[in-house]
Amino acid sequence: MTAALLFLYVVAQIALAAWAARGTSDDTDYLVAGRTLSTLQVAFSVFATWFAAETVIATSAEVASDGLAGARVEPLGYSLGLVALGLFLAFRLRAGGYVTVASFIGERFGGKAELAAALFTAIAATVWAAAQLAALSVILAEVTGLPAGWMLLLSTGIVLVYALVGGLKGDVVTDVLQGGIIIAVLLVLLVLVLMMAGGIGPAFAAVPVSDFALNRAGESWLLRLELWALPIFGTIASQEVISRMLGAKSPEVARKGCLIGAALFLTVGMIPVLLGLIGPELGLELAQDDGFFTSLSREVLPPWLYIIIAGAMVSAILSSVDSALLAVSAVMTENALTKLRPRTSGAERLRMARLTTALAAVAAMLIAAGGDSVRAIVLTGEGVAGLLAVPLIVGLLTRRGGQWPVVVALSTSMLLTALLDWRLGVEGAFLYVLAASTIVLVAGLLAESRLLRTSHPL
């Protein structure tokens, strides 16, 4: 019964997305909603995009295990990243009329830099989509009792249909509805948990004092700094969330919408943190790791509310993974196809965008099948996306420089990431790679400028 009702909920969600996206005729409609988004739509869309599966599933599990230290990446780190994006980047990027972050880098540095940035965006977004698929398979396996592997296949199919029929138009319209449902249901769950604990005072009194520490015992300062840097830099250069600002009616709407979305994300994001602190002290038999939240919901909520919260989580995942797949689609269409075939029509680019959306979904499914935790997959994606922040910030702060320093810097950072992080597992690898990328880029730009002065003396 629960599985059947959840299926009907998903079908209704897809139907709403398809209705909202009616009239989509070209890639601009599909990828940036025709640049028609209001402040409220941008804000709710930013919230719904970043309030993903790991915000609830992974954060509550990490806080249950490690106390407040588990909240550093999310919601705290991501909130800071959204604030920085709203204050310093949203206005300028929207004013430029770009479709992707790679488009800005291409205009600022050159075509080869644009292609390199597009590749980074595609990799990061695909990995992030994989994390959402993994989380969705956890929820569906919990609801249906079927193996997670089969649920991963089903999750991919659901997400693919949702993304193909809706695009950003469908995503944004459903975001407003999804956001309201998620907020309401999480508040109900929190109230019920507090009542079960005997009230606010007894609930917090039962939490061990050690759980209120913001750092884990024995952590190095390097690891602590990396845990903050990953979500902040990953957010600043994320095509998934920046696309919301690029679809705004105006630069000012982009800025305001992002900041309101950041405030909403932090506020609602603290609910899973509270559940992670209080839930383990209720004396219930709760699952560990990524299954903590769904098991807590099942134990606390009546069946009809459990269906709603499962549907709300599916809604959050659909929004987030759709954004990730559209990010891949955007860079492959706008930053690759248009360079190889500049005379393509809007309808042709739309077909290409939908094809790359499908291919990205399959790639994300294969990554999710690797078996890593939701948080581990997310941080891998953020580690790649965060490296784009270096050329993005340098490009906004300076006016000089060509494409080769950017290409060399990004290539160096990818090689170092593969070696230090993926191969050797060096603690603080992202910080080392970020520093190396910055040094290579700045040194390359200075050397290039000096060569130009030597070749063309005044």
pLDDT digits (tens, 9 = 90+) for 256-301: 999 999 999 999 999 999 999 999 999 888 887 788 998 999 899 8
DSSP three-state, residue 221: helix
Each residue's pLDDT tens digit, 398-456: 887 789 999 999 999 999 999 999 899 999 999 999 999 999 999 999 888 887 677 65
> The whole model's pTM is what?
0.86
- Is the per-residue pLDDT at 4 higher than 80? no
pLDDT at 214: 92
Could you tell me where the DSSP H helices lie in 290-345?
Answer: 292-300, 303-332, 338-340
Distances (CA, A) of 104 to 7, 35, 454: 40, 17, 28
Q: Which residues pair with 55 in a beta bridge?
A: none
CATH topology of domain 2-391: Sodium/glucose cotransporter (1.20.1730)
Query: Residues 170, 18: contact at Cβ < 8 Å?
Result: yes
pLDDT at 435: 96
Each residue's pLDDT tens digit, 366-382: 998 886 777 788 888 88
The mean pLDDT value of the chain amounts to 85
DSSP three-state, residue 147: coil
Q: Name the band, by pLDDT with cuts 50, 70 and 90, for residue 24.
A: low
pLDDT at 86: 95
Mean pLDDT check: name the lowest of 48-57, 222-231, 290-299, 440-449.
48-57
Each residue's pLDDT tens digit, 152-209: 898 888 888 877 776 656 566 666 677 777 888 899 999 999 999 999 999 999 999 9
Closest to 264 in 3D by CA, of 39, 10, 31: 39
